[in-house]
């Protein structure tokens, strides 16, 4: 029986949601690491230390848009030729191959997979990419090369109606490195009066609304866990005294543990959350949430555990935070519901759902 080989492609390794999901998916099977390959950048992130043969993609970030384009295109050429070499070599040795591409960015890998792999699976996390011409190119390659596409929510799948390939929705799960059987004291949690924001330092993520919220409610404590660098933090001109900032914290679970309320303030017209992994993470620690009124988060939340608010409706946002933070009965009912929802999103449940695409053993049974 010929051996199967799995090739995973993720362009930029960091501590954001899509590499975290990919890491947990790859970890669904600890054996057969010698038959699994990962193409990604050399940066530190969730994919660091994964049980795969890692091939470094020469990709960098820059504040210069022209430089970013050059890095991006070179990374596509590199991935296309190196991946093609491995796939052709596998075919010569009578080995079955499957390429799994994470995010729509690595189109070079898609073309190589279409030409030389047995199957190309695209794991889609985003609605669109800027600028528009690049988005058109990426989706054209996706339509041409994908044998199957995986989506993290029904909302996201609806944005790819143009695809004729098989489409499957697989909800994300909780991070594999998060603690299990968490013991939470609801009274202490409520008394902490802490409002938590977890996300990147981007205006469309609502960071400025969060700053304004902290200024407006000085009696509450606000904490921001930001995926940014110290240099980027200087973009925040004024930081309120009741706001505590953590840059890429290693103790994120403690921040969830201490928080009374989690807020996702993404501006719907500028950024739509395709899933909202931080909301499920917060739910696992009993944090009810304020979420945008559109996108993926609306598929696994309801009024018993989350409140839908457009962050641009600032007075409504303030009133909601005040109501939840001052009424223990309202908060406690949301706390219980949030914790209950999280029990349906364990890492093990997620890994069982994705294992047909990420497990050598499962591929053997289907090939």
* pLDDT at residue 309, rounded to an integer: 97
| Residue 36 and residue 164 in one domain | yes
Domain containing 355 equals 4-173+347-366
| Residue 200 and residue 312 in one domain | yes
Rounded Cα gap, residues 353 and 305, in angstroms: 25
365 has a pLDDT exceeding 60: no
69 has a pLDDT exceeding 80: yes
| Residue 304 and residue 231 in one domain | yes
1 has a pLDDT exceeding 60: no
What's the mean pLDDT when you consider all of the chain?
Answer: 93
Helices of type H across the chain: 17-26, 65-92, 107-116, 132-145, 154-158, 186-192, 207-216, 230-233, 252-258, 277-284, 314-326, 328-342, 347-358, 360-366
In this prediction, residues 286-304 reach a mean pLDDT of 96
| Residue 331 and residue 352 in one domain | no
In this prediction, residues 258-277 reach a mean pLDDT of 95
| Residue 220 and residue 337 in one domain | yes
What backbone phi and psi angles, to 5 degrees, belong to 56? -75, 125
Residues sharing a CB contact under 8 Å with residue 276, sequence separation 6 or more, in sequence order: 264, 291, 295, 296, 297
- CATH for 157: 3.40.50.2000
Share of the chain above pLDDT 90, in %: 83
What backbone phi and psi angles, to 5 degrees, belong to 62? -155, 155
| Residue 322 and residue 270 in one domain | yes
179 is a domain residue: no
139 is a domain residue: yes
Residue pLDDT, tens place only, 12-62 = 999 888 999 999 999 988 777 789 999 999 999 999 999 999 999 999 888
In this prediction, residues 201-224 reach a mean pLDDT of 95
Angle at 356 between CA 93 and CA 363, to 5 degrees: 20
Q: How many domains does the chain have?
A: 2
Share of the chain above pLDDT 70, in %: 98
In this prediction, residues 278-306 reach a mean pLDDT of 96
305 has a pLDDT exceeding 60: yes
367 has a pLDDT exceeding 60: no
102: its two tokens: 């994470």
Nearest CA among 98, 109, 22 for reference residue 72 = 109
pLDDT greater at residue 365 or residue 241: 241
Specify the 3-state DSSP secondary structure of 227.
strand
In this prediction, residues 345-362 reach a mean pLDDT of 90
* pLDDT at residue 31, rounded to an integer: 76
| Residue 239 and residue 195 in one domain | yes
Q: Produce one character per residue of 253-291: b if its CB has 16 or more CB atoms within 10 Å, e if not.
A: bebbbbbbbbbbbbbeeebbbbbbbbbbbbbbbbbbbbb
| Residue 253 and residue 112 in one domain | no
| Residue 49 and residue 157 in one domain | yes
Whether the full predicted model's pTM is greater than 0.75, yes or no, is yes
* pLDDT at residue 206, rounded to an integer: 94
Half-sphere exposure of 143 (CA within 13 A, CB side): 12
Least confident span in 102-116, 166-180, 271-285, 328-342: 166-180
| Residue 10 and residue 149 in one domain | yes
180 is a domain residue: no
pLDDT band (50, 70, 90) for residue 283: very high
């Amino acid at each position: 029986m010929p051996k199967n080989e799995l090739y995973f492609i993720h362009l930029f390794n960091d501590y954001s949601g899509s590499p975290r999901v990919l890491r947990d998916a790859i970890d669904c099977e600890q054996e057969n690491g010698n038959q699994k390959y990962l193409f990604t950048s050399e940066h530190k992130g969730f994919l660091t230390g994964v049980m795969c043969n890692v091939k470094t993609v020469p990709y960098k970030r820059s504040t210069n848009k022209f430089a970013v384009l050059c890095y991006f295109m070179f990374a596509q050429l590199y991935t296309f030729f190196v991946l093609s070499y491995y796939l052709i070599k596998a075919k010569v040795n009578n080995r079955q191959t499957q390429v799994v591409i994470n995010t729509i960015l690595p189109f070079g890998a898609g073309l190589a997979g279409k030409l030389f792999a047995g199957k190309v699976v695209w794991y889609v996390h985003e609605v669109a990419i800027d600028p528009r011409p690049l988005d058109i190119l990426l989706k054209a390659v996706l339509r041409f090369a994908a044998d199957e596409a995986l989506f993290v929510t029904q909302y996201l799948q609806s944005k790819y109606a143009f695809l004729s390939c098989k489409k499957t929705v697989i909800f994300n799960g909780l991070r594999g490195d998060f603690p299990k059987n968490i013991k939470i004291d609801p009274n202490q949690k409520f008394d902490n009066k802490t409002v938590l924001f977890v996300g990147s330092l981007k205006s469309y993520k609502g960071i400025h609304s969060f700053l304004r919220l902290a200024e407006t409610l000085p009696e509450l404590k606000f904490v921001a866990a930001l995926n940014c660098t110290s240099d980027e933090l200087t973009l925040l001109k004024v930081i309120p005294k009741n706001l505590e900032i953590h840059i890429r914290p290693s103790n994120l679970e403690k921040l969830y543990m201490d928080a009374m309320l989690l807020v996702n303030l993404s501006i719907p017209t500028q950024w739509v959350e395709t899933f909202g992994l931080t909301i499920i993470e917060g739910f696992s620690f009993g944090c009810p949430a304020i979420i945008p009124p559109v996108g993926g988060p609306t598929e696994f939340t309801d009024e018993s555990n989350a409140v839908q608010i457009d962050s641009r409706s600032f007075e409504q946002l303030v009133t909601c935070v005040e109501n939840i933070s001052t009424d223990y009965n309202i908060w406690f009912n949301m706390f219980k519901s949030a914790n209950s929802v999280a029990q349906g999103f364990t890492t093990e449940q997620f890994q069982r759902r994705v294992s047909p695409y990420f497990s050598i053993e499962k591929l053997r049974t289907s090939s």
